[in-house]
Structure 1
Amino acid sequence: MKTVKVTLDSYTYPLFIDTGLIGRIDEICDLYRFPTRRIVISGVVDGEMNSDLIDRLKKYEILFVQAGETDNRFDLIAQIFDQLPFKNNGAGITLIAIGEDWLIKTAGFASRLLAAPTYLICIPVSFWSMLETGINDEAFLNWRNEIAVLKVNYCPKLVFLDGQFLSGQTQNDSLLASTVVLRQLLLIKPDLFHNFQSNFPEIFSPGKMENNQVLEELITSRLELYKNKTDRKCLNDFGVRFLNHYRATKEIWPDPVKMALLVFVDICWRWQTGKTLQISDADESDAIFSLIEKICLKYRISSAAWEQAKKDLAAMFSAKLLSNIFLPVSIGKLQLINSIDLDMAKKCLAAC
């Protein structure tokens, strides 16, 4: 088992990477002397919980949370509170969140609202959520189409990245994994990007995604980005910021293909805009566009879906949701642009 020490500002927690960690919850909780009252929170969505896993978790109290079609975490927190057994909580509880990033962050928010001492263990179940929540302690709540009305640092006690969850990943899971890996690599350094480029799509083939070494390398590089607040802001902005706006305004969680496309289009137009402003490397732009084209071909993304994603992004410009944004100087280096002309943005989108 590989242990990575994660430090976010003044808070530190261990992150474990291994296969089969889900079967060692009690062993590790006992080692850290966490409360013996252990409650599992999981989402009822396809691919997150299977019958075998549920059987192994039967010894715990299990709370199921249904995401539904909205991004209203007030409703999700209410679901958790409605099911939580509040009796005999004086000694504290160990709250084990198993699911996608939406569930883990919601459980994290809920854990900070409980009066009883609460020890949160986060167990993301997909490549996307492992990288998005493995090194992250911020949760936001939306209200009436406004993003980030409330924010809390939910401070997990432990994070498990269990490669066993990745062995049964679907095509959509693999597609989402490629988006989160790509946007991270573009913020690090060219040699890592070109290594990924030359090994695609093998890195996402069966037997590769659950490779703990690959996961460890990506987590370690992400942790490096998080050490610097500017890099952290870039990472949170690059390919994700506009997706949160989309969720807030549309009041839905995009399906995996739409999520991936929105990230890809975001990456493409940023490089295209940077090239137009003469602040990005043209050869790197071509390499990135070529790789995204290969990914779309592999996962049979239609041209109509790509065009719709471009329209969604253009609509956000019209709503002036993306006036301040990081544009690439080169792979591994971004520059903050305070404003982008709407006509230029549409022109660059049209070229993607």
Structure 2
Amino acid sequence: MEILSVDLKDRGYNIYIDKGLLKNIDNILIECGVSDNVFIITDCNVAKYYLDILLSKLGSKVIGYYILEPGEESKSIDTAKKVYKKMLETRCDRKTTILSLGGGVVGDLAGFVAATFMRGINFIQIPTTLLSQVDSSVGGKVGINFKNYKNIIGSFYQPKGVIIDTETLKTLDKREIISGLGEVFKYGLIMDYDFFLWLNDNLNSILNLENNYIVNIVKKSLNIKKAIVQKDEKENNLRKILNFGHTIGHGIEILDNFKTFKHGEAVILGMMLESFISREMGLIDEKYYTEIVYSLSRLVNPVKFSDFKQKQIMGAIKHDKKNEKGRVVLVLPIGKGKVNIYNNVDEKLIERSLKDGVVI
């Protein structure tokens, strides 16, 4: 078992990574300092595979659970209210620990509920998708969507621990794995070009879910993320580089009420488009731009957006929560494994990227 430590001033925690950890969940929770009752939040897709394992291993410690419908629509204030109601009915208190069992939607919602129920209770992340294992379960960003704006209501609230069982990835389809790989490739592009090259060289083994490769990408990704979070927990400066691909990506993701693209797919397209902008601004050369787009297009085919959808995406970009003083903030590549933050990008260039930027 691999154990990584996230060292923060007020609320540090461990990340446990291995195959088959759910079968040892009772002992790992003790290591995380969980000794009282727990309340499980999951979705119906995950519940049919893993809820019974937790109920069997934890027994009477589980005082209740709530099963969401899968998808971004569940990441809402209405769902949060239903969870609060269930927690009150099962007599959860300030010593109750929430177990978040699922992907990014479950983790974001469960973390938001934990941060707000009785002014904050402990929660444990048990991510079951590649995207949540390499990204969203670590770092303390929790939140919900509101009026078609993604993660517009939320907080920074760190978990008590993160338990990553790589065995859970075997129930995912290829599209879900590729969605997670969007975030993995991002880490290489923002901070570690050698990792980016390694991902390209070993993509087939990764897509085949060979365990050594999966453990390696989870560990490598989280080492990069935790190093950034430890220096800038509340995203005042450095942590913003983790948003590469996300400003335009979030605009793409909301199309058709989150039904067309998964989060990681939208981020992949966002990284292509933001790299186009970088090339047009002279921040990277044609050769590196082509390398980025070619590599990412192995995961997701470039897309041509209609004029109507271009306007929808641009509208979302203008309301992105990362914007500052009415200006769109973008993370743009400036070299191999290097990015920088810009708030002075001409909006007409962003619009042009939506029209021309994913054609290869």
Give the TM-score, by structure 1 length. 0.84
Counterpart check, 1:269 vs 2:276: no
Q: Higher mean Cα deviation, 216-225 or 141-150?
A: 141-150
Deviation string 1:122-177 (CA, Å, 9 cap, x unpaired) is 10101101122232212223333445553323221111011111123311112112
Corresponding residue for residue 86 of structure 2: 83
Query: 8 Å contact 1:41–1:62 — kept in the other structure?
Result: yes
Q: Tell me, what secondary structure is at the counterpart of 1:84?
A: helix
Q: Tell me, what secondary structure is at the counterpart of 1:63?
A: strand
Mapped partners of 1:186, 1:310: distance in 2: 29
Corresponding residue for residue 253 of structure 1: 258
Structure 2 residue corresponding to 1:216, chosen from 215, 219, 243: 219
Corresponding residue for residue 313 of structure 2: 316
Corresponding residue for residue 337 of structure 1: 342
Counterpart check, 1:231 vs 2:238: yes
Change over 3 Å in CA distance of 1:136–1:251 after alignment to 2: farther
Deviation string 1:205-257 (CA, Å, 9 cap, x unpaired) is 1324873233212211222232343331110x21223344455x6583345x5
Which letter maps to 1:153?
F
Mapped partners of 1:56, 1:317: distance in 2: 44
Q: Tell me, what secondary structure is at the counterpart of 2:283?
A: coil
Query: 8 Å contact 1:134–1:161 — kept in the other structure?
Result: no
Query: 8 Å contact 1:71–1:252 — kept in the other structure?
Result: no
Corresponding residue for residue 27 of structure 1: 27
Q: Higher mean Cα deviation, 63-72 or 154-163?
A: 63-72
Counterpart check, 1:50 vs 2:40: no
Change over 3 Å in CA distance of 1:141–1:134 after alignment to 2: closer
Change over 3 Å in CA distance of 1:54–1:310 after alignment to 2: farther
Mapped partners of 1:89, 1:137: distance in 2: 22
Query: 8 Å contact 1:15–1:134 — kept in the other structure?
Result: no
Mapped partners of 2:228, 2:82: distance in 1: 35
Q: Note the C-alpha offset of 1:67.
A: 4.4
Corresponding residue for residue 183 of structure 2: 180
Mapped partners of 1:312, 1:29: distance in 2: 46
Q: Note the C-alpha offset of 1:95.
A: 1.6
Q: Note the C-alpha offset of 1:94.
A: 2.3
Q: Tell me, what secondary structure is at the counterpart of 1:155?
A: coil
Corresponding residue for residue 323 of structure 2: none
Counterpart check, 1:4 vs 2:7: no
Corresponding residue for residue 294 of structure 2: 290
Identity fraction in percent: 17
Query: 8 Å contact 1:39–1:95 — kept in the other structure?
Result: yes
Q: Tell me, what secondary structure is at the counterpart of 2:191?
A: coil
CA RMSD of aligned residues (A): 2.9
Deviation string 1:65-107 (CA, Å, 9 cap, x unpaired) is 2246626521121121222255654572122110111111211
Q: How does 1:61-140 map to 2 (within 5 A)?
A: 61-67=64-70, 70=73, 72-86=75-89, 89=92, 92-115=95-118, 118-140=121-143
Unaligned runs of 5+ in 1: none
Q: Tell me, what secondary structure is at the counterpart of 1:40?
A: strand
Corresponding residue for residue 203 of structure 2: 200
Mapped partners of 1:206, 1:310: distance in 2: 38
Aligned residues: 339
Q: Tell me, what secondary structure is at the counterpart of 1:187?
A: helix
Q: Note the C-alpha offset of 1:260.
A: 4.2
Deviation string 1:46-72 (CA, Å, 9 cap, x unpaired) is xx2334x23323333332122466265
Mapped partners of 1:197, 1:109: distance in 2: 35
Mapped partners of 1:91, 1:258: distance in 2: 35
Mapped partners of 1:91, 1:8: distance in 2: 22
Give the TM-score, by structure 2 length. 0.82
Corresponding residue for residue 189 of structure 1: 192
Which letter maps to 1:282?
E
Mapped partners of 2:332, 2:290: distance in 1: 16
Deviation string 1:329-351 (CA, Å, 9 cap, x unpaired) is 11322233323334433444414
Which letter maps to 1:216?
K
Corresponding residue for residue 281 of structure 1: 285
Counterpart check, 1:150 vs 2:156: no
